[in-house]
């Protein structure tokens, strides 16, 4: 295990000069922000695809009422 901590500290010391070149007052989302954005984009894409699939199955024709038959209407005033 001591070899691992030594390699990590060596890697960090090499990255420190790179970090000093970046403006310290500038805030960026970084890799984590990109990953979160990509996951959210994929989720929205999947939901839109699913919604489109389900909307295709919907029948928009209105069913006739129970008292009506197709073409004939009853007149209650006959006497």
pLDDT per residue of the chain (79 residues) written in tens, 0 to 9:
455 666 666 666 665 555 566 677 888 888 999 999 999 999 999 999 999 999 988 887 877 778 766 555 555 565 5
Rounded CA-CA distance 76/5 in Å is 93
Question: In sequence order, what are the residues at sequence separation of 6 or more whose Cβ sits closer than 8 angstroms to the Cβ of residue 74?
Answer: 67
The rounded radius of gyration (Å) of the Cα atoms in the chain is: 33
Q: Are 64 and 70 in contact (CB under 8 A)?
A: yes
- Would you give the DSSP letter of residue 76? T
pTM: 0.45
pLDDT at residue number 26: 82
pLDDT at residue number 1: 46
pLDDT at residue number 8: 65
pLDDT at residue number 39: 98
Report the alpha-carbon angle 25-39-8, nearest 5.
55
């Amino acid at each position: 295990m001591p070899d691992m901590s030594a390699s990590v500290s060596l890697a960090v010391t090499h990255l420190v000069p790179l970090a000093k070149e970046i403006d310290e007052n500038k805030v960026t989302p970084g890799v984590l922000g990109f990953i979160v954005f990509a996951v959210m984009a994929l989720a929205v894409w999947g939901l839109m695809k699913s919604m489109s699939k389900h909307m295709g199955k919907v029948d928009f024709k209105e069913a006739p009422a129970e008292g009506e038959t197709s073409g004939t209407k009853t007149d209650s005033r006959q006497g």
